[in-house]
Amino acid sequence: MGFSTDAIHIGQEPDPATGAIIVPIYQTSTYVQTELGHHKGYEYSRTGNPTRAALERNLAALEGGAFGFAFSSGMAAIHAVTGLLRTGDHVVAGRNLYGGTFRLFERVLRDYGLSFDYADTRRVNDVDRTLRPNTRLLFIETPTNPVMEIADISAISHLAHERGILVAVDNTFMSPYFQRPLALGADVAVHSTTKYLNGHSDGVGGAVIVNNPDVAGRIRFLQNAVGAVPAPFECWLVLRGVKTLAVRMRQHSENGLAVAQHLERHPKVKTVHYPGLPSHPQHELARSQMTGFGGMLSFETGSRENACALLKSVRLCSLAESLGGVETLISHPASMTHASVPEDERDRLGITSGLVRISVGVEDVEDIIADLDQALESMPVCPS
């Protein structure tokens, strides 16, 4: 069946007890057993819960994986992936990681005896050079946040598998509708379901999807042993959101491209980072591994004063962190999501003080563009 059919139906058969078409919120901690050792597959809700199981089956199918695991946040999901490692192991990650992931690696897991190096994942050679004999995991994001660099998932997976290294891809920005890391050769797809999968900015969650039964066994063990599981209601919200993932993603992408094209033509905008633009340096690679380009873009206003004026003047676009909801969010990476990255490193990554990021929502695109236009008017200085 097609993606939307799967999104609406897999894991979501009508409730056998009542016929309810929507998976109930099984708000229960425990399950009554008829006699010792006899239960209906559920014993305790940290270990398993029917609402969560429905979501896990659904997300596994959408990512083209055999096993799905839901977590209480994207960070909990990423932490579970690092639970596949042992003291002494080395990880190579993208140099432009989500800030929370970088913080987990550097300020939590380093103290547990794991080591990390960061590569320019646009270049397979750079990844290759960063590998060590004890490298066990390659952790990448593509496109990266907020400058939308692309990593070649297939080439990187090929390189890693020659050395027995596991490849995990944070697929939050694209969602399985536009990019399927497992089909491209990766071993693990990880998500912050907080973003596009939920899609309505009303919950926090994460997911891990894998094919290998041994890896799945370890993730399942960690999910129960560590206990960072989502509440049934949170799972239900993601299940509801996912039903419209395809239609939302198509609109996010259509609006994203229209906004990117408009900004690219705008005299006050220097550069636009959007993988759907032919001017994106990796547009061809993006086209080859993604089936759409999503709603995330960033652009250069030329200075912090310009960015500040623009962000103060928007009316429809909301100044906020996060992304992937139906409403358009606008942010200033250098002082918000990437404030903890040292300035020289930010400059090296292209996260300048004039850079503005947009999570383009699914409002009428004319309204988004009109709002950006009136806000751009307020910018005091033209970029050099």
Ligand X SMILES: *Cc1c(COP(=O)(O)O)cnc(C)c1O
Using the rule CB under 6 A, give the single segment among 62-70, 166-174, 208-216, 359-367 that binds ligand X.
166-174
Asked if 143 interacts with ligand X (CB under 6 A), we say no
Nearer to ligand X, 180 or 195 (CB): 195
Least CB distance to ligand X at residue 103 (A): 10
Using the rule CB under 6 A, give the single segment among 192-200, 263-271, 275-283, 299-307 that binds ligand X.
192-200
Least CB distance to ligand X at residue 175 (A): 11
CA angle in degrees (0–180, nearest 5) for 318-77-250: 45
Asked if 121 interacts with ligand X (CB under 6 A), we say no
Asked if 199 interacts with ligand X (CB under 6 A), we say no
Using the rule CB under 6 A, give the single segment among 84-92, 97-105, 131-139, 361-369 that binds ligand X.
97-105
Nearer to ligand X, 289 or 306 (CB): 289
Least CB distance to ligand X at residue 356 (A): 17
Asked if 172 interacts with ligand X (CB under 6 A), we say yes
Asked if 96 interacts with ligand X (CB under 6 A), we say no
Asked if 75 interacts with ligand X (CB under 6 A), we say yes
Asked if 194 interacts with ligand X (CB under 6 A), we say yes
Nearer to ligand X, 89 or 170 (CB): 170
- Binding residues with ligand X: total (CB under 6 A): 16
Where in the sequence numbering do the catalytic residues fall? 46, 98, 170, 195
Least CB distance to ligand X at residue 209 (A): 14
Asked if 211 interacts with ligand X (CB under 6 A), we say no
Least CB distance to ligand X at residue 330 (A): 16
Interface residues with ligand X (CB under 6 A) are 73-75, 98, 100-101, 141, 145, 170, 172-173, 192, 194-195, 204, 206
